[in-house]
Amino acid sequence: MSATNEQWRVRVDPTRCIGSGICAGTAPGHFVLVSGLSRPLAERVAPDDALVDAADSCPMEAIIVSEADGPRRIAPEP
């Protein structure tokens, strides 16, 4: 998707997450449900379109994907 060394940061806001599981279904390699809430399997990851799809699909906009070492938010769009 982009530069070879680029990394993204994935965060789930536990105060917004309702545990719908859409993220785990959309990007099973990146999210898991624990005690009814979503958690990322890793905080820093290689760019992956599935993460953008998961963040865009979250009904509560609880998932934030951003540059790992920068301020740019990747998904969902602000």
Task: Give pLDDT, residue 34.
Answer: 96
pLDDT in tens, 30-74: 999 999 999 999 999 999 999 999 999 999 999 999 999 999 999
Which 3 state secondary structure label does DSSP give 55?
helix
| pLDDT at 16 exceeding the cut of 60 | yes
Mean pLDDT confidence for 15-34: 97
What is the rounded CA–CA span in Å between residue 4 and residue 75? 20
Which pair of structure tokens corresponds to residue 6?
A: 């680029």
Q: What is the mean pLDDT of residues 5-26?
A: 96
Show the 3-state SS of 35-59: CCEEEECCCEECCCHHHHHHHHHCC
Q: Which domains does the chain have, with CATH numbers?
A: 8-75 (3.30.70.20)
